[in-house]
Chains A and B, each alone.
Chain A
């Protein structure tokens, strides 16, 4: 059993598990932090961004000035943003049989895999994962395609050139594998390969293993996966949450008794408590709006935004913010808000029960009805007519490199009355803000990450007790910024195995058993013999028939008649030889009694030595050794077959035959 690690990213994993005869890809995460090296794509012509000076080397060489621009003391690539793909060389991805998706954030690299690697298998995911994943991809494609960029920079990626660049471009990894965003056509094609599954549904893969999604409590339709054969069980835990937010609660019980538990997607901010962060978010939002400022919340169009809107629904009246407009701007805003209301079966119990009242599960419906929350596909069109300040705007993309958020950063960045509140933990907010510096607007960082923290993981592992834990290497040591916090790492016994990008792990357990069925007729013919109370043995002579990873013992063909026809003869030739079977022996040899027996039979000068595995009986006179071990007995004597046979018979007296 092997695990191929294609990203090494703790929350955007892409691993391939080879288990029995199957090749299973676990998640398809896309690391978008590479886009932070690119200039933002402004929706509206920005004189500031379009007139940036080109960057030149210290010696004045300006051959890169078309590709790289200097902005706010940093150097950015002036090109269509590119993403860092999972490794494609570590394993032949055309051999991947299935891809299991655990949540909509972890499927963003799917089109790259399904459309460009020769992949011919099936992708499994829950319905909300697919629908919301589609929205995220659609939004991403839309954000990038609606600001066409003529050039695609590539000179800077040359290794010799790259090392001349300033940080962080100089240190960017795997730049040669960075790719532009996929198209909508590729998205559709990739999504067409997905087969929808429901929680606890058992899916057979080639008869070899069974995979089952379990609720992980993190997002709508998010899953952990169980991959099991008859005797082995691997659990894949990715992006799980124990907090009571909108999704169905996490199913922990089904993770018990795993041989291996692959653990990814823990919280990226282990020291921040989501409740405290929501409080911080609300307080700062209220303070800004009260002072006549606007609040910008760069966010994804689904996920935490539902919880934030719900929290604000309860908060705005008490904070006297009822008259402040909330805008949600995204090409998929409408779909996201509506989709969230129709996935009742994937919601937590509290929200499910609202459906029967009947009430919409999320209160943002009421915010929309009362015109407190308005949503628009983009800043163009209706929005510009309705726009009123001060206001609160939720829009993407959290990287601040594309999407409507770029416009608001340009528009509001110069006033200290405004505030940008970062709630998504995927991007460093300082790096995200770099091309907008100097910035007068206030910046508040309150990342809300509801995924498991280390205390919860520790409890979970104690509860489910896997034999081995495998996780990204980041989880096996404290975060670099808090190296003394030994509590911020996985602490389990045996210690967790860690992996990093482009590493192949041999998972530490061997398969020892395989389930074989016995045909009823064959079972009838068996004659068990009780060798000790409760344990019976029977010899089986049969033909092992293996098809589709299922093994069946069938009756052996009847012995051929001596006067058989040619045809029959040929059949019997094909069958394996059925030799006359020697009797099977069982039992153990009591050394003291054996020595007595030897003495009775005339052997003298017998010495017994204890060894690590058993005993050696030394017949000094006859220069003969008898090695007695748990599972074997050897008689070593020089060319005295008579003696050997005599001794063998004496040994056999102590053993049972059947």
Chain B
């Protein structure tokens, strides 16, 4: 947690007043110790304080802090929790050099961190104390004096031993401290000089070198971890010298069989490759690593290499080969359709790769990893060109601004469809490896999901017509197959949608191509069947797919014709009554889309009106929140996009919807109600056709529109005010904030007209204000009845909306998050301040 930048977190007099009692409480071993969370918050706050003002000043103005540290030093039976806290506190203060000197005067720091301190006590056995010690030193190691101190108190040896601590937290803190020591010690060094830092740095570097050459993998892992952090966070020229010294030892690791600590080694190599320490000669090391590491570990390295900004083309080609290898193996294992391009032109598969693919668990893991990595590398639309193999085509990729990455789109399509064919049992194996793959991949849901994700991503680059035909055929098989699990089916729907959308390019009124038309003819019966599935997840995915497809293709004549000839719209409408709330929500969204595009209208029935009443019924009566939220989204969209039937009587439509939404118990429905009101307001205020409410979200930016006398009665008839005023005092802050913004916008728009004469008929502004007060106090109040524009204006003027907005902007726990509150709570826990604790 961080308090940085938040006002009210400084060391104010109130905090200074509470602090001595708290320090006394912490120093008293008989008192119950505050829990770790409170101590963490206290440290966070004090850290913020020291960052904002002089640590020395804080320490001098609050001598109780110093007393606490001294007390900790003296007492042997301080609780481990408080001891750890004090160590970290001392470290935070000593981070500033003047304060460090101040603390050193009394040898306080040496006492805390030296051998006479907790190191020698029984409390050292508690992991929290050890990690507090390491974290304290880590905070402290910020200035040159600290370096000498570390040497003087013999901390380096202790840190080195803590690296292998059984507690992971301690080991991690020790590693961070080592990184800090190196950064501090070598900071001044230049790239040209040999590594000649102070003795403690020499000691650490020597230790790391020793670890790298150790036969024990845990030691190698620890050294690699530290070095990854060093090269990840330090940029100085000295890192080049350090790498020059340690890289032979790292290269040596790659010669071992198997390569020890491979995942961490990959992390280090990538850290180095991204840092200034990387030299062009290190490319050989990366190439060697790509060559030597097993397929599972070489993949992440290859992905990292391909994402590097500066990298020779040869290395990138090698990395891409490594990434493509598993899919190439799968592709080779199957009898391919004639003319299908191969992914890689290698003669044989590496034995390690074959071994990995032959074991079920590693095969599935490797393929899922490879597919996800390739998906990450996928070039943007238009970036990919058809390639028939690796070398050759020069295309662009976001991952490689320096050198364009050849993207073998067509072979990849072939390979991924082949993988999916192995998964559904329709691939014919061409080798014994293929035979085993049949058994391993048949019905494997994980690989199917990953492959369908990647196949969907590949739609951006399309491919040769013949392959695209094959892709559609395969997708249809997956959508059709009773054996596709609900999650696989969802992915198949998503992939199909992407292929359909990309195959047509940007929306255009022209007809669909014959291939897509054919696909649709076969797809719609499948969709019908899926909408009738007994498995709700399947019905849900089918409806989502339908909604998306309609959103994009609702204007396509071919699509409209095929859809209207099918039973899909009727089936979708039936699902408005599905027993599963998620399905009802998706059905609402789909029906909303179908209705928007006029794909649900049967000429002789006023269909949209019936659907509107049906959706309104769901909004008023559905016991679950999801369908009601979906209805609000649909209504907002209908209003925004000018649904033909809504446009006939917008005011009546908005009034009915807001009436229902205002009564809803779900705050998200009410927020969406305000959103709908905003859209309506924007449409009413703005020029005809303006439909973007966000453009006028700020009061000052309101465009000139029709005058208030025209606007206000419209808004009144739509009962917008009653809804907005009620929402203003909603118990959920999000609703109130949004409503406040709406009223501010409205106020700014109507204020210039200044008409405020009260006319009889509706309730007076006084009675409205009374009702508002009642709502503010939390009561339900009486319905306002028909509001008159004049009364509304009067109320808008009377309300301090700006003030309300400021109040609402504060988070609901802003009181509890104040440092005073924290100090009071901690004191209350110790029984010092029983009556002043915040209850939350």
Contact = CB atoms under 8 A, between A and B. Distances in A.
A485 B436 contact: no
A282 B533 contact: yes
B535 interface: yes
B425 A485 contact: yes
Given A279-B533, A291-B567, A485 B442 contact: yes
A284 B442 contact: no
A283 interface: yes
Nearest to A271: B425
Nearest to B525: A287
A318 B533 contact: no
Interface stretch (A220-228, A309-317, A513-521): A309-317
Contact of B534 (A311, A484, A487): A311
A287 B439 contact: no
Contacts of B483: 271-273, 276
B438 A484 contact: yes
A280 B481 CA distance: 9
Interface residues of A, number: 28
B498 interface: no
A368 interface: no
Contacts of B484: 276
Given A278-B534, A320-B577, A486 B436 contact: yes
B308 to A, nearest CB: 41
Interface string A468-509: 000000000000001011110000000000000000000000
A286 interface: yes
Given A287-B529, A484-B429, A485-B438, A282 B534 contact: yes
B428 interface: yes
A319 interface: yes
Given A283-B530, A320-B574, A487 B442 contact: yes
A323 to B, nearest CB: 13
A319 B532 contact: yes
Nearest to B482: A276
Contact of A314 (B443, B534, B567): B534
A486 B534 contact: no
B538 interface: yes
A484 B439 contact: no
B528 interface: yes
Contacts of A272: 482-483
Nearest to A446: B482
A370 B425 CA distance: 44
B578 A486 contact: no
A277 interface: yes
A284 B567 contact: no
A290 interface: yes
B625 interface: no
Contacts of A319: 532, 534
Contacts of A276: 481-484
B579 interface: yes
Q: Which of A286, A317, A320, A484 has the most CB of B within 10 A?
A: A484
B428 A283 contact: no
Interface string B425-446: 1011100001110111011000
Contacts of A318: 534, 536, 578-580
Contact of B535 (A279, A284, A286, A320): A279
B269 to A, nearest CB: 38
Interface string A274-312: 001111101110110011000000000000000000010
Interface residues of B, number: 33
B668 to A, nearest CB: 25
B438 A283 contact: no
Contacts of B538: 279
Interface in B524-572: 528-530, 532-536, 538, 567, 570-571
Nearest to A312: B534
A322 to B, nearest CB: 11
Nearest to A321: B532
Q: Which of B436, B443, B580 has the most CB of A within 10 A?
A: B443
Given A279-B538, A485-B442, A486-B436, A287 B425 contact: no
Contacts of B578: 318
Interface in B437-472: 438-440, 442-443
A20 B395 CA distance: 77
A320 B570 CA distance: 12
A282 B532 contact: yes
Contacts of A320: 574, 577
A451 B579 CA distance: 32
A484 B439 CA distance: 10
Contacts of B529: 280, 283-284, 287
Nearest to B434: A484
B520 to A, nearest CB: 18
Contacts of A486: 429, 435-436, 438-439
Contacts of A314: 534
A459 B193 CA distance: 64
B492 to A, nearest CB: 14
Contacts of A484: 427-429, 434-435, 438
Contact of A279 (B435, B534, B567, B570): B534
Interface string A61-72: 000000000000
A314 B533 CA distance: 12
A470 B597 CA distance: 64
B532 A280 contact: no
Q: Across the A-B interface, give the 4 residue pairs with the lowest CB-CB distance, nearest first.
A: A487-B439, A276-B482, A286-B532, A280-B482
Given A277-B482, A290-B570, A485-B425, 6 more contacts: A271-B425, A287-B567, A314-B534, A486-B435, A486-B438, A487-B442
13 contacts: A273-B483, A276-B483, A279-B482, A282-B532, A283-B533, A287-B529, A291-B567, A315-B534, A320-B574, A484-B428, A484-B438, A485-B425, A486-B439
